Structure 1
């Protein structure tokens, strides 16, 4: 996850910007930079690699100025070079950006037609140039930012400083987190409380769609329409290396809300957003052109991600996939003849059964790959190819953001495999990668259902059992939704392929049984809603998770319907996971359970 810091101070800020960025290193990054406004105007320092490189460069080339912004970057658009590092700047302003600007190509083409030129390959630079054009046309900085925000599509957070404005810092968030810190005669902006804790414990968290105008005397927070709003002042405990919950009640809730950002960063490792092409991350070497059959294995939530991955690989790459729970994979001594690649999924990279299965596959002479969230883990080290999920630290035992990042990596890998195997054309690849780039925004849209989900969750607490149904790639989500509910609320829940309803589970249906039906309007929608009708005929309480088309086409009235935006099919597993996570979370909160550390469970299972 990229990191943002901004300071409007009374003393030189360059050193403090770098020190604050160090506190954000846990989020991961591949380049860093700062910009300040000094006596000679805007200036910046940027460096590839670790912050020590930036710190050395700033030491050798000091930056004056009492106002500035800083950034640690995970590359999403363009390779991690100095020219693509943040801050991006024009003669009028400098900006740092987290997230993805989905419509950057259209904006860039428009700005180029107006004679503006670009120095980088990033989507972020269009923000700087667009605001610059507005100022060239006579807009004041505040108006220029508001004009620009209205044109941007995607999930992002931003911070701006302006030439000639030594007492003005503007920030904005849509999907990605941003917090305002209050000091004595100075103000701060940061990705989270950890970055701000050396300076202040007085924090206001911006809500989605907010933007903020800061000077040394305070902050004016505005909503998306430009109306002044108030946000609650909180006191943050920002100890060194302390992962803070911020203004969230639990780590799980915070991690649910981090998903637009971390999914965007994971996408950046697997998709070149500038060219619209899929890619393998870093130095990973995998030849999907030679893969005809894969074996996939994982445990728990990772297993459901792998099950979704099987749908992805078989559909988009036409690679046959075997799938096993890792605790069964090695003990049933499956013959691995004809398997060209064994792929393992693990958040921690230390799960004992998954590690043992990896070693079993290696002993059989297979090429191995692992999708992991911890690059230093045993599984990452021992696999032939380590494929990262850039979810950052996940504190809640019940996996949320790691799961959606696993799905994101699997979806993007399946596109890459399809290209290498000649199953996906260049035009189809561009269409699929463009669809994937919409994931952060779509997840942010799902958050708007929270009040409705909380009401459903309150009613769920009156039941002791629940059934989840789905078809196609929604079947693994039914399994994962059931797992989340029973993990943290202790309500018994089962997930089934909807077509299996009549093969036993239908016996459970009566008016006391909530049935969560996951049914985007796709090729199997009609089949799924026929199962809904069977549930309705037996008095079951249906909670339908669908899109606008599905809500209109559903033949029976549901007790509750959660309507997500219409979206490309490759996105539905990633986005539809979010309301299921929120349903489990709010049910557990109302039940009064220990959400972050549910009984009998551990984050990483390192014994069999």
Structure 2
């Protein structure tokens, strides 16, 4: 969602801010702005609706925007429409304080009305302006910016990551965090704040992840971090080992295509450290060898594509462990009153580790006594820090809003976890276990093989990109995979798309099929290929055009019935979705390309959803 960058140094701030905002574009936004404190102690603000290029033009035209300390923001509208006035930074009525803010202030109307009664005039429709106007109110009262900050934080309710400038303190910026990601970067005679580490990779690899209720004062030479009682903290610094090249396109037209092509290597990085001497090794679980001893139920909690990983996990882990496994949408989890406690294991999946709904589900699970194991990509993220056990995917930075390599690494790691538990409990025969190990070792090479057939996906996409409605059907693991294939298509091409369990066709769904309807039929799950073929015949008899996703072993048989096929190598049945996902990603990509869509930054979407 929204992005924050802040800089305090010896050089001009605006170039650092604009560069950092550019690296945050992938998160999704509809306006952008910066604020800089001049050497004379004056706040200078430029902000605008639209893409960052518009802001760059404004800053270039305004020569007065100059200073060594500043904050910047990309906004994704929540309160108030996308326009110049609602864009961040927001400045108080007296013009002394500027604020950028991610999150939502839940009691903003109450505070706003109170300030209006005191004579304060508001300019925007945002909840963020309440923060800055309240800051100025208390700053006038206490004549100390930190006193004002702590007073404001005691009054506001909700989630926030914020950067604050005060013209009376021209050499410093203030940062505060609660339930929204914010980190501090350490440079050479320069220090930074950011909502995402990718904004800082060009400048520093040393960072501290702020915790809830912490406040930091940052200058070019120092960083001081305080807790809620204003005690100074000694915070741990982390080294970020992501390569900056991984956050750049590297010659590809879009980040999404680059990240699709990176999947074999990303999956290899997830698998290889966890395979030793023909065994799955989970060092992260070594301290809890009896984790599964009394577990009678598993919940897999996630949002979006990560939820679809959870659906794959439900089928695989339930089959392996013979206990109930429920895949749950994080946004519904805590409102459904799930049966939690010591006998329930909750697995939370999140690429960013900051997804607010998943974070809330995690806290609910811990509050009710369940162990929480998380699968995340970002080290030091909120979900990682609050979980009992963390498994990192090590996928590297993912820039495109529509996830690809994060999805694939989450999936393979969750499957490996299920097999690990099954082996630990003696629920998988040695011969079957070794088949899975052998298939894992072959997987990156098989994925590379699938990626060699780009022409196939381009040609088929060019024939079908003008459809207005597309359906995906499948059974078992193919149904779970179809959910992700459908989501990818609708995310980036804006085509209406739905995924259905193929066995449900005659229970209502088939009424939507008419001559010319496009159906993508998934038939890679070996035990149910014959039943899937029957479903293909069903929709064809109603006039549907069909693209079939099959394995190379069944391609010849199905091609007799379906002229358009995507064929992938065969692997162990529980790993088959790892290969089936690639054609669906590429089909969505090339359909969107033919339709002229903004593939890396689809409309209305954000990379990390940090508001409820």
Place the TM-score, normalised by the shorter chain, in its bin. Answer: 0.5 to 0.7
Gap runs ≥5 in structure 1: 1-196, 198-238
Query: 2:197 is matched with which residue?
Result: none
Query: How far off is 1:288 after superposition?
Result: 2.9
Q: Which runs of 4+ in 1 moved over 6 A?
A: 239-242
Q: 1:555 to 1:489 in 2, by over 3 A?
A: closer
Gap runs ≥5 in structure 2: 1-201, 203-242
Tell me the distance in 1 between the aligned counterparts of 2:309 and 2:259: 17
Tell me the distance in 1 between the aligned counterparts of 2:308 and 2:511: 25
Do 2:371 and 2:388's aligned partners in 1 also have CA atoms closer than 8 Å?
yes
Tell me the distance in 1 between the aligned counterparts of 2:474 and 2:467: 21
Query: 1:411 is matched with which residue?
Result: 415
Q: Where do 1:266-305 residues align within 5 Å?
A: 266-272=270-276, 275-282=277-284, 285-286=287-288, 287-305=291-309
Q: 1:333 to 1:484 in 2, by over 3 A?
A: same
Query: How far off is 1:331 after superposition?
Result: 1.1
Query: 1:458 is matched with which residue?
Result: 462
Tell me the distance in 2 between the aligned counterparts of 1:242 and 1:525: 39
Query: 2:427 is matched with which residue?
Result: 423
Please point out which of 420, 444, 449 is paired with 1:445.
449
Tell me the distance in 1 between the aligned counterparts of 2:292 and 2:379: 22
Query: 2:57 is matched with which residue?
Result: none
Query: 1:343 is matched with which residue?
Result: 347
Tell me the distance in 2 between the aligned counterparts of 1:313 and 1:542: 31
Do 1:341 and 1:366's aligned partners in 2 also have CA atoms closer than 8 Å?
yes
Q: Deviations over 1:69-93 (max 9, x none)?
A: xxxxxxxxxxxxxxxxxxxxxxxxx
Query: How far off is 1:375 after superposition?
Result: 1.6
Q: 1:606 to 1:300 in 2, by over 3 A?
A: same
Q: Where do 1:112-511 residues align within 5 Å?
A: 243-272=247-276, 275-282=277-284, 285-286=287-288, 287-336=291-340, 339-511=343-515
Give the root-mean-square deviation of aligned CA atoms. Answer: 1.8
Query: 1:602 is matched with which residue?
Result: 606
Query: 1:545 is matched with which residue?
Result: 549
Do 1:489 and 1:591's aligned partners in 2 also have CA atoms closer than 8 Å?
yes
Q: 1:340 to 1:242 in 2, by over 3 A?
A: closer
Please point out which of 566, 571, 576 is paired with 1:567.
571
Tell me the distance in 2 between the aligned counterparts of 1:573 and 1:521: 8
Q: 1:285 to 1:532 in 2, by over 3 A?
A: farther
Which of 332-341 and 544-553 deviates more?
332-341
Do 2:400 and 2:607's aligned partners in 1 also have CA atoms closer than 8 Å?
yes
TM-score by length of 1: 0.59
Query: How far off is 1:374 after superposition?
Result: 0.6
What is the SS of the residue equivalent to 2:311?
helix
- Rg (Cα) greater in structure: 2
The yes-or-no answer on 1:524 pairing with 2:528 is yes
Tell me the distance in 1 between the aligned counterparts of 2:287 and 2:494: 43
- Count of residues in correspondence between the two structures: 369
Do 1:398 and 1:603's aligned partners in 2 also have CA atoms closer than 8 Å?
yes
Q: 1:444 to 1:332 in 2, by over 3 A?
A: same
Q: 1:285 to 1:527 in 2, by over 3 A?
A: farther
Q: Deviations over 1:542-600 (max 9, x none)?
A: 10010123223338621411111222212211110111000011111111111001000
